[in-house]
Amino acid sequence: MNLPIYLDNQATTRLDPRVLEAMMPYLTEVYGNAASRSHSFGWAAEQAVDAARGQIAKLIGASPKEIVFTSGATESNNLAIKGVVEAAMSGGPETRGAPHIVTQATEHKAVLDVCAWLGGQGCRVTVLPVDGEGRVRMDDLRRVVEEEKPLLVSMMTANNEIGTIQPVDEIGALCHEHDVLFHTDAAQAVGKIRVDVGRGLVDLLSISGHKIYGPKGVGALYVRRRNPRIAVAEQMHGGGHERGLRSGTLNVAGIVGLGKACELAAAEMESEAERLGALRDRLQGRLEAGLEHLRVNGAAGDAGKGQRLPGNLNVTFAGVDSESLMMGLRDVALSSGSACTSAAIEPSHVLRALGLSEEEAHSSIRFGLGRFNTEEEMDFVAERVVDVVRKLREMSPAYADMT
């Protein structure tokens, strides 16, 4: 076992060696521009891009023509939400009112900040609360959709901090029943749980390569082409690449890597989910056996485990500051929240939305298990966490008051 141990796989994953092997020729020998159609270098690059488009589409049940390459899920979210709003506002006088967007409180900042920006541009934005496990209340969503007929609902498939899986099919069915578009940020879900846009319930879906053992800096947006065809206004201009939806020279090597990562996920997802779920339960069991006064955040209990990403475990350790805990675990890579907000001192907006107090949110740690973790590592981490938590609690007046 090598130290440090990496348990921050919701922030990013290690590049799978098989993905790197697939990418290497396109970093060295096959270096043409996929838009150069006058010579063999460009043709080879274009063929590689088309093959990757097919691999990604197969994983999520889409057509290759519905896959638009981006730099990652943040750009995909921006293109989906801003693009739909702009397309609607340019559709004619009858569509130029203030578009209404609905999302939920536990979304990634790549969605919440986009919605907030659009709110400043005159759009109406509704941010729905979630229940204690981080799941949107369907009655709340149904009321807004039926009464207000928003343009777009954007809700993530699985949460990056607590792993809670949303009822995507139910949300999509509700939206389509009322002619409302549905976008989902599936960066954490694709390749880890089954995601199928072929059922016709999702209109736009965001993917990121580095969440599924692919390279950083590459992602994709699924855009439905029929029944209905979704209109999206491009947000990057210059060249009309990706059928006019996203201009810019394609990152061929990165796209090849994303395609290979999706191919591997399609082949190994079920066995990997089973293995990661067992590792997570092993870690959780050892923590609960060694410590009192801890709680699992998100979908908890035996019934809840199936409604949470198999590699996610978010735990609140009463009376312990998470930053102090992580300082005491220098040989374990952990996180107290989203990687995009880990430099912030405010408590996690996701945990606060679940009803945790500010103190409880500051006492929470995310364990993100991944493809390369082992049972030996889980046992080591559990032992180290139990030891450090006990020591911190001995020095904590707040914990003494609790007990």
Catalytic residues: 340
For 131, other C-beta atoms within 10 Å of its C-beta total 14
d(CA 59, CA 76): 17
SS3 271: helix
d(CA 212, CA 381): 23
Q: Angle 390-310-253 (CA atoms, 0-180°, nearest 5)?
A: 115
Q: Which two tokens stand for residue 175?
A: 């939206």
Residue type, 264: L
β pairing state of 294-297 and 181-185: unpaired
Distances (CA, A) of 249 to 42, 157, 237, 253: 12, 29, 12, 12
Using DSSP, state whether 276 is helix, strand or coil: helix
Element housing 125 (H / E): strand 124-128
Cβ pair 298, 370 in contact under 8 A: no
Cis peptide leading into residue 25 (ω within 30°): no
